[in-house]
Amino acid sequence: MHHRTLLLTAWYLPQKVVRWQDAITMVFLDKVDVIAEYDTTVSSPSIRMRIPAVVRSRKANPRLRPVVRFSRASVLLRDNFTCQYCDKPFPEKELTLDHVVPRSAGGRTEWGNIVAACRVCNYRKGCLTCDEAGMWPTTQPTKPVCLPIRKQTVSRLSIPEQWEPFLI
């Protein structure tokens, strides 16, 4: 059995994926509500139940602060898979990361200096500053507070149909 369970926050936002065994434990500890189930059942000598596909945390955790780690995938999600210079959407493999202030001019590889760029725009800007190239990002790069879980970031074949309504 290779079932996984999608854990939602109290506000129905995707939080993480947990093992189905852990989800059942959370159900019995009264920590979550079952929102959707798989057709598969599990049983013990005293109970028989369907495996939870989606569960929602009953308790809002104000200390839970999502940490968005800097990565290529996170930058592309933040920029909505759109070149920040020509403002056109591209498939992930056709996008690059560009330093707004080039490294040669002291620019750092951090949230406030990196944007998604198509290959044509990245090549055109090269190692020039925005003023020198006459190219500026359409949005100011900043560190996001959170990122959505998008269907595009997970193989369509690996998303259980029960999760679909909860993914952006």
In tens, the pLDDT along 74-131 reads 899 899 899 999 999 999 899 999 999 999 999 999 999 999 999 999 999 999 999 9
d(CA 51, CA 4): 9
pLDDT at 35: 94
- How many helices, marked H, and strands, marked E, lie in the chain? 4, 6
d(CA 116, CA 122): 9
CA angle at residue 70 from 17 to 3, to 5 degrees? 10
Closest C-alpha to 69, from 8, 110, 116: 110
Instruction: Round to the nearest angstrom and report the end-to-end CA distance of the chain.
Output: 27
- Domain ranges within the chain, ordered by starting residue: 4-60+153-166, 72-133
pLDDT at 148: 63
Assess contact for 116 and 75: CB atoms under 8 A.
Answer: yes
pLDDT at 163: 81
Closest C-alpha to 123, from 98, 104, 106: 98
pLDDT at 116: 97
pLDDT at 152: 46
* Three-state secondary structure string covering 65-110: CCCCCCCHHHHHHHCCCECCCCCCECCHHHEEEEECCCHHHCCCCC
Give the tens place of pLDDT for each residue, 1-27.
Answer: 678 899 988 888 888 889 999 999 999
Closest C-alpha to 141, from 102, 93, 84: 84
- 65 — pLDDT class (breaks 50, 70, 90): low
Give the tens place of pLDDT for each residue, 142-159.
Answer: 998 877 655 444 444 567
pLDDT at 117: 97
According to CATH, what is the number of the domain 72-133?
1.10.30.50
